[in-house]
Structure 1
Amino acid sequence: MAPRIDHIETDQILPKRADVVIIGGGIVGVCTALFLAEKGVSVALCEKGHIAGEQSSRNWGWCRKMGRDVAEIPLAIESLRFWEQMNSRVEAETGFRTGGVVYLCETQDDIDQHAAWLEHARPYQLDSQLLTPDGVDKLLPGSTRKWKGALYTPSDGRAEPQKAAPAIAAAARRKGAVILTGCAVRGIETAAGKVSGAVTERGTIACDTVVVAGGAWSRLFLGNMDLPFPQLKTLGSVMRTKPLAGLPEQAVGASDFAFRKRLDGGYTVAQRGANIAPIVPDSFRLFFDFLPALRKQWHELRLRVNGRFIEEWKIPKRWSLDQATPFETVRVLDPAPADSILEEARVNLSRNFPAFKNMEIAESWGGLVDVMPDAVPVISHVPGVPGLVIASGMSGHGFGLGPGTGRLAADLVTGDVPIADPTPFRYERFLRGGKAGKAA
């Protein structure tokens, strides 16, 4: 089920000490490692499975400023700046290309919502613009539909999820970072109230700082430390086609399909606005945290009761640092895609852009997306735990925001002037009464 990811060489010897230990080898973890290594900080990255094994290789590959939560726009701007220079920075192909991103509008309400977002984004002087119906036809010829309009950002782009994180990890390693795969972190040791080490399945790495960039696993890891982290998972399903000629270069999203050109000449295709939300025990524990978001986005979620309820019920929530953990039991989350949703995407796309009718599907896959109640990530120190930084809860935005998130996390670690205001991403916004208590 998993997409084919570029292989890189990793380290075999566990260092006795590093300034920083990063938990997680996804796009956020490897970008944090790269920027710390460039700052001259000694860093060890520990990944329980393999680099980009989960959502960092399974996402759509969009790298956009457009449509972001206003709190994320400065971080998105910095991320795009890093993406534009990433191939030269890491001396490898990440697949990044500036091709533009388009949100197609079907109703006047769509137009009004995008116009409102443009007003909020105006201070950032983005090149986002609303297109007329004729403007859409000119930009995206070949559609059978006369669209109401579109929101378009020419400077946004795309990259290849199966290439990017491995290339960045390899560059971080060349710059001195230790990259360990098949090496789960079981927990964190403290001394005098501060982080003093990361306990892995292979032994302990003494360190001053730990960065939790564990994606969908972060809630479980932090819960063992009695740190609440209100995170749920949704299932996204994606497919890629064999090469197709004469179709748009832009990444395009409508209400019921999305596609973007791939470096190999094919397209990544998905059903936009149709994620499955498995009902799991945490769905009940976090019901009131997510209720406001559910009211706003219920039409985009398809609630399902399936085998994940029992799977997550059985996962231990507590463990000691001298015993095997859930991270060693399940190295890679590899869910099956929802074939019915992918078929909907294929039908919807072919109906609106007939040139896709002859597309041949090369492969498909599923991925579990970690989401927060406000759909904004946590990139933050943790009050009361000096030396602990969280960079997680990316809510489906992690790939595009990965470089900026990694740089901001690195700045928080070193105390340098942050590349973007970290206030919107602070961990404390989820703490009831402003204090860390036992994890729900």
Structure 2
Amino acid sequence: MAPTITPVETAPGFPPRTSVVIIGGGIVGLTAALTLAEKNIPVVVLEKGRLAGEQSSRNLGWVRKTIRAAPDVPLAIAADRLWAEMATRVGANVGYGRTGIMYLDRTEADVAGHEDWLKSVSHLSLDSRLVTPSEIDELVPGGEGKWAGGLYTPSDGHADPTLAASAIAKAAISKGAVVVENCAVRTLSLEAGRVAGVVTERGEIRCDHVLLAGGLWSRRFLGNLGISLPTLPLVCSAFRSPPMQGPCKIGVAGPDFSFCQHQDGSFIMTQRAALMAPLTLDHVLIGMRYLSQLRGNRGIVRMKVERETIDDLKLPRRWGPADESPFEKRRVMDPPTISTFNREAVANLGAAWPLFKGVEIKSAWAGTMDITPDTHPVIGPVASIPGLTLATGFSGHGFGTSPAAGQLAAELVTGETPIVDPAPYRFERF
């Protein structure tokens, strides 16, 4: 069951022409729209289903720099600053708090791995530090786990996925953006090889630029244009507790669980050591590019023939502008909750912190992430189609970095000086 998000009153239709069309009403696309609208640049967001109906509302809400690869940390630092300003910027609560995030280490080898990460980002002036078992007991009291140590970043935090995207969408609309739900974009309109508009299920809208922020659907959209974007689906299952007294406000990531308390007092939890990879045709086509990831996550990624396997085979990979697209056939990716993973999380949490023993699961859901071979997103232009820019492939990191990622995408569209160096995210690296 999908999380319940704050509803947004969207437009019934779109104008015949605009400056920028954003394909996808997830949080990155909406932040890009807000950035453009604040600059008085006409922008239309077209969402095939409902706003933030997929991974933007189904994640854990973490906003972190911890254990990001060094080239990706500047984007996370920029996102930190923008999240802190977001409630004022949009005039609404987004559930943001700078409460810290801690990763727990079971072995000395795990501690050494985090020490290596600290060395790799030492030039970035982060407040991340190793913590001892006694410090863990002090910061997260009441635990019975035997930890070798941990990695703690006090300036990390979280926001609420059920509030944030809606608040950003409303702010973008108030500043002039047009946001349309249940309107799938079938393909691009090209003139002399460059973007001239998009063809939707409701007709064409002319534009100068297109930003594709379609999440896990971006690979299929680009494939229909003869462009290969390497992404594979990975499903995470999570659940929310009722409001309860917890050990701390810090977000805690253990080897096989995580928990974080939100503003309403509830906890969002997950089994960190269990991800489902529903086998699809794309695993055959590009799976070899992910071998290093599979080796590094042996035992965590569980590959299986699921409903998604059959549903994926039923969706077309080639279609014309007059044809019903895959995005109309399946408006929202809504994978079933993986109750086995959630039960494992409850057991693992209860063993580490007894106050979570038998914790009630008030609501549960699953979400499908779009994973790139290096787990970094693609944010940048497509050289073969002038006027087309991508902001996709966020590999489960999109929510946390969304304020900076959306702004970066918007700045690359307009040609302004980007908020961070976009080089790590260029499409050509694949």
TM range (shorter): over 0.9
Residues 354-383 of structure 1: per-residue CA shift (max 9 Å, x gap): 111252211100111110011010001001
Q: Secondary structure at the match of 1:298?
A: coil
- Further displaced range: 150-159 or 350-359: 350-359
Alignment match, 2:166: 166
**Matched-pair contact (CA < 8 Å) for 2:22–2:45:** yes
- 1:43 partner letter: V
- 2:338 partner letter: A
1:16-415 map, 5 Å: 16-415=16-415
Q: Secondary structure at the match of 2:183?
A: coil
- 1:285 partner letter: L
Alignment match, 1:433: none
Q: Secondary structure at the match of 1:78?
A: helix
CA–CA distance in structure 1, aligned partners of residues 273 and 263 of structure 2: 25
CA–CA distance in structure 1, aligned partners of residues 246 and 92 of structure 2: 27
- Further displaced range: 381-390 or 241-250: 241-250
- Further displaced range: 305-314 or 16-25: 305-314
Q: Secondary structure at the match of 1:361?
A: coil
- 1:113 partner letter: G
User: What's the CA shift for 1:399?
Assistant: 0.5
User: What's the CA shift for 1:300?
Assistant: 2.0
CA–CA distance in structure 1, aligned partners of residues 279 and 121 of structure 2: 35
Residues 363-415 of structure 1: per-residue CA shift (max 9 Å, x gap): 10011111001101000100121100000000010100111110100110111
User: What's the CA shift for 1:293?
Assistant: 1.9
Residues 133-180 of structure 1: per-residue CA shift (max 9 Å, x gap): 111111010001232111001111101101110110110111111011
**Matched-pair contact (CA < 8 Å) for 2:275–2:302:** yes
User: What's the CA shift for 1:309?
Assistant: 1.8
User: What's the CA shift for 1:299?
Assistant: 2.9
Alignment match, 1:429: 429
Structure 1 spans left out of the alignment, 5+ residues: 431-440
CA–CA distance in structure 1, aligned partners of residues 155 and 73 of structure 2: 14
- 1:393 partner letter: G
**Matched-pair contact (CA < 8 Å) for 1:18–1:205:** yes
CA–CA distance in structure 1, aligned partners of residues 334 and 44 of structure 2: 25
User: What's the CA shift for 1:13?
Assistant: 2.4
CA–CA distance in structure 2, aligned partners of residues 40 and 47 of structure 1: 21
Name the Cα RMSD after superposition.
Answer: 0.9
- Further displaced range: 294-303 or 325-334: 294-303
CA–CA distance in structure 2, aligned partners of residues 293 and 35 of structure 1: 34
- 1:255 partner letter: P
- 2:339 partner letter: D
CA–CA distance in structure 2, aligned partners of residues 110 and 36 of structure 1: 43
Identity between Structure 1 and Structure 2 (%): 47
User: What's the CA shift for 1:246?
Assistant: 3.9
CA–CA distance in structure 2, aligned partners of residues 258 and 82 of structure 1: 25
- Further displaced range: 242-251 or 105-114: 242-251
Structure 2 spans left out of the alignment, 5+ residues: none
Q: Secondary structure at the match of 1:268?
A: strand
**Matched-pair contact (CA < 8 Å) for 1:195–1:388:** yes
User: What's the CA shift for 1:298?
Assistant: 2.4
**Matched-pair contact (CA < 8 Å) for 1:243–1:267:** yes
CA–CA distance in structure 2, aligned partners of residues 419 and 140 of structure 1: 35
**Matched-pair contact (CA < 8 Å) for 2:308–2:335:** no
- 1:353 partner letter: W
Count of equivalent residues = 430
**Matched-pair contact (CA < 8 Å) for 1:145–1:352:** yes
**Matched-pair contact (CA < 8 Å) for 2:100–2:157:** yes
Q: Secondary structure at the match of 1:98?
A: coil
CA–CA distance in structure 1, aligned partners of residues 376 and 150 of structure 2: 24
Q: Secondary structure at the match of 2:205?
A: strand
Residues 174-200 of structure 1: per-residue CA shift (max 9 Å, x gap): 111101101111110111221000111
Alignment match, 1:437: none
CA–CA distance in structure 2, aligned partners of residues 328 and 294 of structure 1: 32
Q: Secondary structure at the match of 1:227?
A: coil
**Matched-pair contact (CA < 8 Å) for 1:14–1:202:** no
Q: Secondary structure at the match of 2:342?
A: helix
TM-score (normalizing by structure 1): 0.96
Q: Secondary structure at the match of 2:264?
A: coil
**Matched-pair contact (CA < 8 Å) for 1:98–1:155:** yes
CA–CA distance in structure 1, aligned partners of residues 262 and 121 of structure 2: 28
- 2:329 partner letter: T
**Matched-pair contact (CA < 8 Å) for 2:347–2:358:** no
CA–CA distance in structure 2, aligned partners of residues 297 and 388 of structure 1: 34
User: What's the CA shift for 1:245?
Assistant: 1.2
Residues 88-141 of structure 1: per-residue CA shift (max 9 Å, x gap): 100011111110000011111111111111111111101001001111111010
CA–CA distance in structure 1, aligned partners of residues 75 and 145 of structure 2: 35
Alignment match, 1:7: 7
**Matched-pair contact (CA < 8 Å) for 2:333–2:368:** yes
- 1:303 partner letter: M
